[in-house]
Amino acid sequence: MSTTRDVTHVPGLFFITLDQKEKAFLTYSIESNTMILESTYTPEKYRGMQLAEVMTKKAVEYAKLKEMKIRPLCSYAVLFFQKHPEYKGLLEVA
């Protein structure tokens, strides 16, 4: 795997390109002024390398830049916000 963890962003997707053309990714959608974190995926052999955390932090940075709230739907994103209470203010209030 490349030693860099460069996250690429295209609308609806943050991803990290890995060796053998595999990708770790985070998908999202936007509804009104809310970024909905829908799913994260890391190929099995790359798990435990904090790739999902790196991508989620990029999504958080993007949401902050665009002044959006965040609604975590996928289990990883929910766990991320539990582990990082410093981002609690970005969460959508139901």
Percent of the chain with pLDDT over 90: 89
Contact 44, 11 (CB under 8 A): no
Q: Which residue carries 């595999």 as its tokens? A: 22
Give whole-number Cα distances, 30 to 18, 19, 21, 59, in Å: 26, 30, 27, 12
Q: How confident is the model at residue 3 (pLDDT cuts 50, 70, 90)?
A: very low
Token reading at 27: 């998908």
- pLDDT tens digits along 10-30: 999 999 999 878 999 999 999
pLDDT score recorded for residue 67: 97
Residue-range domain boundaries for the chain:
8-90
Q: Which CATH number fits domain 8-90: 3.40.630.30, 3.20.20.70, 3.10.129.10, 2.60.120.560?
A: 3.40.630.30
What pTM, to 2 d.p., does this model score? Answer: 0.92
pLDDT score recorded for residue 88: 93
